[in-house]
Amino acid sequence: MLYWALLFFVVAVIAGLFGFGGVASASAGIAQILFFVFLILFAIAMVVRVIKGR
């Protein structure tokens, strides 16, 4: 999921450089949402690992 967030971020940067504001804005929004979902899932996985143990 972090891969997809980074991919959308790169698309947003490239679209922004070429002047496609709508595409850049949409891609940046998607990248931001995916990044926060990744962070939440990562935090949940860490909590489960601490609770469950190795």
Contact 35, 26 (CB under 8 A): no
| pLDDT tens digits in sequence order for the chain, 54 residues long | 788 888 888 988 898 888 888 888 888 898 899 999 999 999 999 999 999 976
For residue 25, the SS3 value is helix
pTM listed for this prediction: 0.72
Residue 34 CB neighbour total at 10 angstroms? 19
Rounded to whole angstroms, the Cα distance separating 33 from 11 reads: 15
